[in-house]
Structure 1
Amino acid sequence: MKQTLLIIMAVLSFLGFKTPVQASIKKVAPTFWWAGMKNTELQVLLYGEDISSSDVSLTSSDVYLKEVVRQANSNYLILYLDLKEARPQKFDIVLKKGRKVTKVPYELKERIRRGTDIEGFTSSDVLYLIMPDRFANGNPDNDVIPGMLENKVDRNEQFGRHGGDFKGISEHLDYISDLGVTAIWLNPTQENDMKDGSYHGYAITDYYQIDRRFGTNEEFCNLVNEAHGKGLKVVMDMIFNHCGSENYLFKDRPQDDWFNFRSNYVQTSFKTASVMDIHASDYEKAIATDGWFTQVMPDLNQRNRHVARYLIQSSIWWIEYAGINGIRQDTHPYADYDFMSSWCKEVLEEYPHFNIVGETWLNSNVLVSYWQKDSKLAVPKNSNLPTVMDFPLTDLMSKAFDEETTEWSGGLYRLYDYHTQDLVYANPMNLLVFLDNHDTSRFCKNEEDAKNIVRYKQAITYLLTTRGIPQIYYGTEILMAADKSEGDGCLRRDFPGGWKGDKVNCFTAEGRTDLQNEAFDYTRKLLNFRKNNEAICKGTMKHFSICKGVYVYERKYNDKSVVVFMNGTDEKQTLSLVPYKEILPSSSVTDFISGKNVVLDEEITLDGRETLLLIF
């Protein structure tokens, strides 16, 4: 029988008949989708050798081919499908080119989630920021992946890969949950197959693939589910402004207009204030938003409708696939404003309770406020971005707890004065507030700072009781120290105890020093108190001008309130309580920090740098 078949094939070949050959399809994006999404148009990007001239058809009876887009590069086909009537199913995308017929299997899955099921992070949450490569290594077997460009681990190299991964995070979820935070924000986890510096993740090479040195797509989903099981939400870092130069979309780009300056490297000025500057020249605006971060980070052109749809769908795919609770969008003002506005709007229409925070690294509250949803300063435009990052407050906090406070300057006056200007924000409660993150100096810049426990306690108390959504950078709770002048790699040092064989394990009380335990215990106490306190999580804020170097403010929700007295001087201060009677409903109250009873009659006395947290 076999011999007969070979003879028939030989005869057919002699007569000019050839067996159909499948084209090589290297990428399908997105890899699958879901029936029943609010937006019923689906872009499917196909990447394979010389496929653009193929005729396209579908084997489905209720998925319709709306549009076939061919690019200058013959290795791409972009399909737009109509899913209005589509049910969950498997079907083929059929490419026919002469005698060559290629069937690309595709699946529309049934939605497990509904948009309203996804709960975003809010002011009731506290985010814990983790750089996965530097937190904990749970699976040394995935440290080096054959075929990936950066193929070594060197923990002595601050810009090298150290081997942290999802399993390491998973193994320490109890530590994170016990600390009292309610969400984890992970620095980028998508594939970053760059030749060097890939540890930080900000040069994505495949938007639909988890970096295999962290784990698989399925392992990421498992981590999200485990986190949810412990009451922790998950925020995913995304980057729409640029990608990595090793991304196939750049290396073998569909067309030059997928990237700004027609795919030619032009350096950004980093001066994104020009976007909202009414006096800025067109040149300044263009070079800020269209210029590239570096030569190895090509700047995506979101004004290209195919680029825009590709990016939007990639984010929705991760929300639906993994059930994440939020997105932190990197370098938000560097991308096209109108595109980013449309993206936010579409995501929030699909997932009404979701949240997005944009990295808005600008030097004033006025400039930051422009980027928040419903900002009066942006009218008639609207960014649709719910949450912005309060970088100006971070800068003030880096100084406020070191200086002597007077009634008109320095120290805590900086914080009071800043809050008097909160009217510029459409929603001050939707500001991400933080002492430090992966791009800034740590709050403890050096060992001297780390030894000043009073400074730390005042700062963390303020962070967790002021308006907004607090974020804590991993290691801050154990007084990890670093100055940005030492290099970004130093800001992202390994968490002690995250690697087998570490001499110190700060995940345990036994492994921490007395001072670290004091900081950790204080932070843990405040965080767990905050979780159940609606006055802080949801309440209004009322504050008083500085008196004798003391800052006083109240957080109130319904009939519950929390009042903070914070002495910003090194000296003992005695205050008359007459100005504060409206926020002091009782004649005595327990101070949450010390556990002592505080009598509230005519005066109150605070020791130097003392803080009181009074619960009514």
Structure 2
Amino acid sequence: MKFPQILLAAAGLLLSFASSATPGFSGPAVVTEAVAKAAPTIRIDPTYWWVGMKNPKLQLLVNAPGIGNTMAILAAYPGVTIESQQKLESANYLIINLVIDPAAKPGLLKLGLKSGNTYRPYTYKLRARNLDPQRTQGLTQADFIYMLMPDRFANGDPKNDVVKGTRVNHVARDSMYARHGGDLKGIENHFDYFKKLGTTAIWPTPVIENDMPKASYHGYAVTDCYKIDPRYGTNAEYQQFVKAAHADGLKVVQDIVLNHWGSYHHLFLDKPAADWFHAFPSFTRSNYNAFALNDPYGSKRDYTLFNDGWFDTTMPDVNQGNPLVATYIIQNFLWWVESTGIDGYRIDTYPYSNPQFLMQWGKAIAEEYPKLAQFGEAWEGTEAEQAFFAQNILPPVNGFKSNLPGVLDFQICFAISDALKTENGDLSKLYHALQGDWLYVDATRNVPFLDNHDMSRFYSVIGEDFGKFKTGIAWLLTLRGTPQLYYGTEVLMKNFSDPDGKVREDFPGGFAGDKTNYFTARPGQAGEAFDYVSKLANYRKSHPVLSSGKLMQFIPQDGVYTYFRYDDGACVMVIANNTKDEKKVDGTRFAERFAGFSSGVEVVSGAVVSDLQTLRVPAHTAWVVELRK
């Protein structure tokens, strides 16, 4: 059933939200079955709203056959008025702009549509905001994010594997492009696993409906902005999922897409107006080059191709320069926060959106939800280009000044991989990636990571070298920022993204019939890897110096990179030998951080470091040393 759904009856009948379609709402059901079957369906986005929002204005997009030929009328409701209404290019749509006074109370708005002598009434729900202080907690450096693909992680409810009416109504685990059956319940069933590992936040790839005929499992081609994909669960089940995560001490990050929708999105199949999407005389892709946005010598053509070209053949580019479209998108993502209490947004393909819209969107979200974490995907090649898409100290360029708190830290990711994937890899890139933090207003809001669903898996990139694996994990969990781990990295899942389906395989044990279950038993080196991540992550949780302490790094020397996390009372040294030979390191070089300390303990192994003046670090080894007085 569509969520939500309003049945439009004959003249004089009251239209109401069906309680089965709107969780938590028990409005009157006065439309008889016979009339309901005959009546056309009317849809309103947002599906409901709240009193007490900081922005008193609400744009309703009404969709039904011929609805644009009517005039909206609002019955008297204290504090709510119709400011204006607007017909669109398509007669199937009508915009109604409401103003909701801060003093307005929750209740049912009685709206009506008048066309000639015909008057058709219906109701719209205004809810009370949820003021629970435990909702929408945001993220800090103390968090550790676990990223996963719901379809490939665990199947907790086989009954939703096949949903009648969807364009892909089967599962085929032997196909990398098909649905495999994972869902929200499967994730929830393993909350204990996340906590044992030491993670504190869950980031699933998009859970919004992707009713596409091919490769819909990944979630990045949305077809209904207001509906959870039924193969994952219902809207009500997603709300419960977030609530259960919070009760278990876990936060939830929602993965969202601003730049494009799927080609089977209902607003693309039946466009409100042609200018709701970017179009060229023939199909035109983005040039995928964000440098065009701030190139002082750049061409308008390159700028336009980057921003307005389609991301892919099945992903139409949404025209956020259209004010109606911009408001539609902004309201949608306010709606999800208030409806669910999620803790953060990860924003897919962040640079591809209209720059002016990005500033508008970021401001609107932050004003309503100042605690909500926001970090974007800015897959760029330099520190400066990456910093351009976060809050930074740079002047505006072409009228754009980012208000995004943080970004996924691709520079850290690239630098770690470059350092470890070859023998005696270059450590200077990691040093320089951190040195570039001067560009940000607050680089600690960035999210460092080792790999993700679009990249070759970290363990394969580094040649399946376990010593290098531990070094990468040590850096990830002790650098500044909020670290993110891609599912399966902790048990040495491997492969190269050729194609990307190879790095999106099912988590062993998440599906009925799996011969191996890494949720319960992790044999051999997979177990060692899990234990290493778990021990260091849980140490990080209990030692704030690694999340809130200052960072001091020393220029890499002779294949050894050393930095410190410290505060007024504690100090942790991270020293990594990135060569094939043991290195003797002169500790007097670090005197400014060693002052007051005489020894240390490597926090994972428990080994005592008794001499800080002369350090002998084995080949391809990273130590995380808690200094002792």
TM-score under structure 2 normalisation? 0.91
Q: SS where residue 605 of structure 1 aligns? A: strand
CA contact (8 A) 2:406 2:443 kept: no
Partner of 1:467: 480
| Counterpart selection for 1:54 from 59, 70, 77 | 70
1:194 and 1:518 map into 2 onto residues whose CA distance is 40
Task: Say if 1:31 and 1:571 are closer, same or farther in 2 by CA, change over 3 A.
Answer: same
Q: Is the 8 A contact 1:369 1:426 kept in 2?
A: no
SS at match of 1:311: helix
User: 65-74 vs 83-92, which deviates more?
Assistant: 83-92
User: Displacement of 1:216 after TM fit?
Assistant: 0.1
Instruction: Describe the shift of the 1:601–1:91 C-alpha distance in structure 2 as closer, same or farther (beyond 3 A).
Output: closer
Q: Is the 8 A contact 1:565 1:611 kept in 2?
A: yes
Matches within 5 A, 1:85-484: 85-113=103-131, 118-261=136-279, 265-378=283-396, 381-405=400-424, 410-445=425-460, 449-450=463-464, 452-484=465-497
Looking at structure 1, the residues matched to 444 and 236 of structure 2 have their Cα atoms a distance apart, in angstroms, of 34
For 1:82 and 1:602, locate their aligned partners in 2 and report how far apart those are by CA, in whole Å.
69
Distance in 2 (alpha carbons) for counterparts of 1:435 and 1:606? 23
* CA-CA distance at 1:426 after TM superposition: 2.6
> Which amino acid is the alignment partner of residue 361 of structure 2?
W
Q: Distance in 2 between matches of 1:123 and 1:271?
A: 31
533, 548, 551: which is aligned to 2:558? 548
Contact 1:180-1:524 at 8 Å conserved across structures: yes
Which one-letter code corresponds to 1:490 in the other structure? K
Shift of 1:60: 4.1
Q: What is the Cα deviation at residue 107 of structure 1?
A: 0.6
- 1:104 Cα deviation after fit: 2.5
Is 1:615 the counterpart of 2:629? The answer is no
Corresponding position of 2:518:
506
Q: Deviations over 1:436-457 (max 9, x none)?
A: 01111110227x833x211110
Paired with 1:602 and 1:210, the residues of 2 have a C-alpha distance of 58
Matched, 1:31 2:47: yes
Runs of at least 4 residues of structure 1 off by over 3 A?
A: 19-23, 114-117, 262-265, 377-381, 402-405
1:69 aligned to which of 67, 86, 96: 86
- Post-superposition Cα deviations, 1:75-103, rounded to whole Å, max 9, x if no partner, equal 00111100014211112221122343322
Q: Tell me the secondary structure at the aligned position of residue 422 of structure 1.
A: helix
> Does the CA contact (< 8 Å) of 2:412 and 2:448 recur in 1?
yes
Count of residue pairs brought into register by the alignment: 589
Distance in 1 (CA, whole Å) between partners of 2:120 and 2:281 is 31
Cα distance change, pair 82–309 in 1 and its aligned pair in 2 (3 A) = same
- Using a 3 Å threshold, how does the CA distance of structure 1 residues 141 and 357 change in structure 2: closer, same or farther? same
Q: Structure 1's 498 and 341: CA in aligned 2 closer, same or farther, altered over 3 A? A: same
Matched, 1:515 2:525: yes
Contact 2:395 2:401 in 1 (8 A): no
Residues 1:80 and 2:97 are matched in the alignment: yes
Structure 2: distance between partners of 1:23 and 1:278:
57
Name the SS of the counterpart of 2:535 in structure 1: helix
The verdict on how the C-alpha distance between 1:56 and 1:264 changes in structure 2, with shifts beyond 3 A counting, is: farther
Question: 2:578 is matched with which residue: 555, 568, 575?
Answer: 568
Q: CA RMSD in A?
A: 1.9
AA aligned to 1:496 is P
| In structure 2, C-alpha distance between the alignment counterparts of 1:99 and 1:23, rounded to whole Å | 18
Give the aligned partner of residue 600 of structure 1. 611
Separation (CA, whole Å) in 2 of partners of 1:118 and 1:540: 27
Q: Is the 8 A contact 1:541 1:555 kept in 2?
A: yes
What is the CA-CA distance between 1:377 and the residue it aligns to?
Answer: 4.8
What is the CA–CA distance in structure 2 between the aligned matches of 1:496 and 1:404, rounded to whole Å? 31
Q: Could you tell me whether the CA contact under 8 Å between 2:135 and 2:341 is conserved in 1?
A: no
Q: Matched residues in 1 for 2:125 and 2:476: separation? A: 46
Amino acid at match of 2:157: N
**Structure 2 contact 135–342 (Cα < 8 Å) conserved:** no
The question of whether the paired residues in 2 share the 8 Å contact of 1:115 and 1:351 is answered with no
Deviation at 1:392, TM superposition (A): 2.4
Q: Distance in 2 between matches of 1:586 and 1:544?
A: 18
Deviation at 1:500, TM superposition (A): 0.9
CA shift for structure 1 position 277: 1.3
The one-letter code sitting in structure 2 at the alignment partner of 1:397 is: I
Partners of 1:399 and 1:21 in 2: CA distance:
62
How far is the alpha carbon of 1:105 from its aligned partner? Answer: 1.8
SS in 2 for 1:226: helix
Q: Which amino acid aligns with 1:449?
A: G
Whether the aligned pair in 1 keeps the contact of 2:408 and 2:448 (CA below 8 Å) is: yes
Aligned partners of 1:420 and 1:247: how far apart in 2?
Answer: 43
| Equivalent AA in structure 1 for residue 484 of structure 2 | Q
**Contact 1:135 1:494 (C-alpha < 8 Å) held by counterparts:** yes
> Matches of 2:76 and 2:563 in 1, distance apart?
63
The question of 1:530 aligning with 2:530 is answered no
- What are the Cα deviations for residues 102-123 of structure 1, in whole angstroms up to 9, with x where unaligned? 2232111011126895211122
- Indicate the percent of aligned positions where both proteins have the same amino acid: 39
Question: Bigger CA drift: 387-396 or 471-480?
Answer: 387-396
Distance 2:152 2:134 in 1: 34
TM-score in terms of structure 1 length? 0.92
Q: 1:8 matched to which residue of 2?
A: none
Q: Distance in 1 between matches of 2:283 and 2:319?
A: 13
Q: Which amino acid aligns with 2:577?
A: N
| Pairwise CA distance, 1:150 | 1.1
